Amino acid sequence: MEPLRLAVLVSGRGSNLKVILDAVAGGALEASVVGVFSDRVEPPAFEWARRHRVPVLTVVAGETERRAAYDARLAGAVLGVRPQAVVLAGFMRVLSPVFLEAFPDRVLNIHPALLPAFRGLDAQAQAVAAGVRFSGCTVHFVDAGTDTGPIILQTVAPVYPEDTADTLAARILAKEHKTCPAALQLLAEGRLRIRDRRVLIDWDGRQPRSPRDSVAEWQDSTGSWL
């Protein structure tokens, strides 16, 4: 199987990018990161890309540039590396159909909440303010809405009374770092289908916790994912 060609879009820190690159390097993710793109100049994430010798490109929006014009420019740049899928890993812009139509059902996002709860910005602060006992992360396909696309995998994280947005974000981030490469490996193995806005996963008869597995763990201790 040829490795899945991935483009990754970032805006900042890049810890999910790092985890993806490490999973590729370690053989846990049968993919190849063929380009890393940012809407901001020199984000910390680029450092991880450079260490893995992945080309980086910044596409900054002009002050008066319309969203559609920017998205078309970004899509053109990303198409240049011929990706089979695009991962939004902390990319801070909402992408319009102009971008999405260039990669139909092939754009994935990682969101730090259990969607459809707490869409949009500051999901961890929203969870703390709402007093929920559990939150977590979601990897989903991107559609034209904000954090509304078909859900691939979710992992639960507890929320404690003393949590701040920051302490919860750190707990959720650890879950993201497992869930994101796992979802990408399922995509790489051709196990994901979208039907009626739901993602069907072909587990091929395998049980959660099966010892095989380029996907490191099918299920974590909270019972998430299945």
What is d(CA 217, CA 171) in angstroms, rounded to the nearest whole number?
18
In angstroms and rounded to an integer, the radius of gyration of the C-alpha atoms of the chain is 17
Cβ closest to ligand GRF, residue 11 vs residue 210: 11
Which residue matches tokens 């690159």?
21
Position among 151, 176, 186, 188 found at the interface with ligand GRF (CB under 6 A): 176
> Of 209, 92, 104, whose CA–CA distance to 147 is shortest?
92
- Residue nearest ligand GRF, CB atom distance: 90
181 touches ligand GRF (CB under 6 A): no
155 touches ligand GRF (CB under 6 A): no
What is d(CA 225, CA 204) in angstroms, rounded to the nearest whole number?
15
DSSP 181: H
Catalytic: 111?
yes
Q: Are 107 and 88 in contact (CB under 8 A)?
A: yes
56 touches ligand GRF (CB under 6 A): no
Which residue matches tokens 């490490």?
22
Cβ closest to ligand GRF, residue 20 vs residue 28: 20
93 touches ligand GRF (CB under 6 A): no
State the nearest-atom distance from the C-beta of 150 to ligand GRF, in Å: 17
Neighbours of 133 (CB within 10 A): 9
State the nearest-atom distance from the C-beta of 56 to ligand GRF, in Å: 14
State the nearest-atom distance from the C-beta of 212 to ligand GRF, in Å: 27
110 touches ligand GRF (CB under 6 A): yes
Q: Where are the beta strands (DSSP E) in the chain?
A: 4-10, 31-38, 56-58, 85-88, 107-111, 134-141, 151-158, 192-195, 198-201
163 touches ligand GRF (CB under 6 A): no
The contact set with ligand GRF (CB under 6 A) reads 12-16, 45, 89-90, 110-112, 173, 176
Catalytic residues: 111
